[in-house]
Structure 1
Amino acid sequence: MAAVRRGQRQGEPGTLSREQELELIDALRGVHPDAFGLDEELWTRQSLHALIQQQFGLSLDLGIVGAYLRAWGLGPREPRERACGLCVGAVERWVRSEYPAITRAAQEHLAEVYWIGRIRLRGTMPAADVISAISARGRVRFMITTPSVDPRLPRDFVLRLSGAEQRTVHLIVDGSWARNEWPRRLPRRIVPHPLPSCGRALAP
């Protein structure tokens, strides 16, 4: 789970120890940056960097912070990587036939397109899920939850993607959640789109 540069070991200067990484994950569970006085709606590489400095007194290189995010499963993923093995073909057809219209609509409304999914972190106790929104431009925004608390797609997470400016966002939601686990009665500025899914949960 830990992420360090070649030639470095976990716990050496410029990295977190395993204990610190697990402590950081616990600190993130169910809370957003504003709970720590940070000016971000959701967690990003920059706000995580600030929290590490606040919690541990460490000013890590931003590249190292980004490596932790990738180790947590928050790197860019191709659409086919968001599908179970039975749905890869349907997802590829959807990208060809439906996705272009979504991007055109987003451009017309000066909106952002986010791909939303969920990854199970390994090696944590209790279990932890990372819910991420990755923009078409590669910007990562995320939160960490304890899956046993509420398996649904958090409404607060979705609303915060729109920001204080209440900008329009298009959300492509993968098969991590069934449709009945999506938030209901969302504002019109938030436009969700289901990625084709047979309803099977994604592998952790």
Structure 2
Amino acid sequence: MAALESGAVGSYRQAAEVFQVAERSVGSWWRAYQAGGREALAVKRTRRPGPHELIGEEERAVLFQAMADYTPEQLLIGGPLWTRPLVAELVRMVTGMVMTERGVGKWLRRHGFSPQRPDRRSYRQDQAKVTAWLRDEYPAIAAGAKAENAVVAWADQCGLRSDTAPPGRSWAPKGQTPIVRVNGHRFRVNIMSAIGSRGTLYFTVFTEKFTEKVFTAFLDRLARQAGRKVHVIADRHPVHRSKAVRAWLAVRFEPIPA
């Protein structure tokens, strides 16, 4: 523009040849410069609007908290690392929405996630939070259950493999490692269980993944076997807090807010 204004170049074509740009662009820039000065030449970068965020803020918080607190293996949906297919499965569990691997990758990057090599760290319970909950919140739950002649049940789920050696140590002569014979036919089952305050045990064994359908079926059986109102205490597993489970509870029971 300075060359055109000073007369160093006499035409759009000459300016295009000198500066190796398109002649049409020179004309557009010159007209913009004449109308608005240098500010009119600033490139206005506009971001194409992306797809509407279908996952709400509350569900997104549940998903990210689950990824921070658990591995896919602990949630009974996969191995030890969060991959795009397993995140897609987690999204389906919590929201009922089906996402492609590519879509999951874009969604994670949009919210500040990136694939990284994990560090090894021992798992420890936050004892301070547990103590505070037992001191401040649990007494009210227990008192309410007693007043209603209800059952308090502590629920959790885990997986068992046929080729897993039993935990603990076994005495043996020094230098002779003890051998535990395990089943060569590998298979895995999952267990959903709940134990009442008086020691009553409720459980179910299943081979499929732990989903809201499995959980609600277990709750239904638990209520029938107890024969009265049940206050279920569970962890922050995403299935426990999923939209489908909350809707199921709202119809049949009186859930305690998370």
TM range (shorter): 0.3 to 0.5
Task: Identify the structure with the greater helix proportion.
Answer: 2
* Greater length-normalized contact order (CA 8 Å, ≥ 6 residues apart): 1
Larger-gyration structure (1/2) = 2
Relative to its length, the structure with more strand (as a share) is: 1
